[in-house]
Amino acid sequence: MTGSDDHYSRTVAAGKGTRFARCGFNDRFDPFWLSGIPRLRRLYENMFVEFLGESPCGMLLDIGCGSGIYFEALAPRAGSVHGVDSSPEMIAVARAFCRERRLDHFLAVAGSAERLPYPADTFDTVIAMDVLHHVPSADQVLDEVYRVLKPGGTFFVFEPNILNPLVWCAHAFPREERLALRRNRPDTLRALLENRFHTLRWQGICALITETTGLRRRLLDTYLALWRWTKCEGCYPRQVWLGVKAERN
């Protein structure tokens, strides 16, 4: 994750589960476990196929790649995948995961999304999964995404939607999550992205990423089922946006 480096370093080092609204490592960032959860694997696979297409692109950049929990689902979507994250500890986990799962076309490096270590017009696709509500300067990150994307390249964004009550609560208390309260209304996020990119599609996603079991799992599943029943997509817990690099005037 880009930003909040100390928080994510401590999260990896602690190796614990989520407590209250503070994300833990085991149930939120451990790729060796989470990549094998059928519910999460289907979520990522279906989302990547639907939004990135059946045919793989040449080069893909994942900014704020974290520990790589969705790398196996992302693997067929590009001939070469570069992941950048500001947390060296997260990158170490991602590299270990890639070695074990033989994801040889992945290259994970520690770096800043505000200063991407790539030339202009390098990538066919850039993705940002749960990243933009963490970075201090979203404008600077988006300028960098625009720079490294090829003309006509696509930008895929996956973010929480704070119009959902549970998601609002989960981001109101942890300090490292609070920027979402300002940025992650769907209309606010779209306006931010459309300063540089043309919108191709926006969609609400009725899913939660943190994995859990027992009573808590049943309560979360019931919560999601109720939101699906409302068909109020604008208040679903997650949102996906897909855009294309636009020529600036």
Q: What is the pLDDT of residues 80-119, one digit of tens each?
A: 999 999 999 999 999 999 999 999 999 999 999 999 999 9
The residue among 151 and 24 whose pLDDT is bigger is 151
Is residue 7 very low, low, confident or very high in pLDDT (cuts 50, 70, 90)? low
Fill in the amino acid letter for 167: V
Are the CB atoms for 193 and 241 separated by under 8 Å? yes
Q: How confident is the model at residue 148 (pLDDT cuts 50, 70, 90)?
A: very high
According to the model, what pLDDT value does residue 2 have?
42
> What is the DSSP secondary structure assignment for residue 76, as one 8-state letter?
G
What Cα–Cα distance (Å) separates residue 19 from each residue in 22, 23, 25, 80? 5, 7, 10, 36
The average confidence (pLDDT) of the chain is 89
The answer, yes or no, to whether residue 36 has pLDDT greater than 90, is: no
Q: Which helix (H) or strand (E) holds 138?
A: helix 138-148
**Domains plus CATH for the chain?**
5-245 (3.40.50.150)
Q: Is the pTM of this model over 0.75?
A: yes
pLDDT, position 24 = 59
* Tens digit of each residue's pLDDT (9 = 90 or more) over 8-31: 555 554 445 455 455 556 667 889
pLDDT at 177 over 50: yes
The yes-or-no verdict on residue 244 having pLDDT over 80 is yes
CA atoms of 223 and 158, how far apart (whole Å): 20
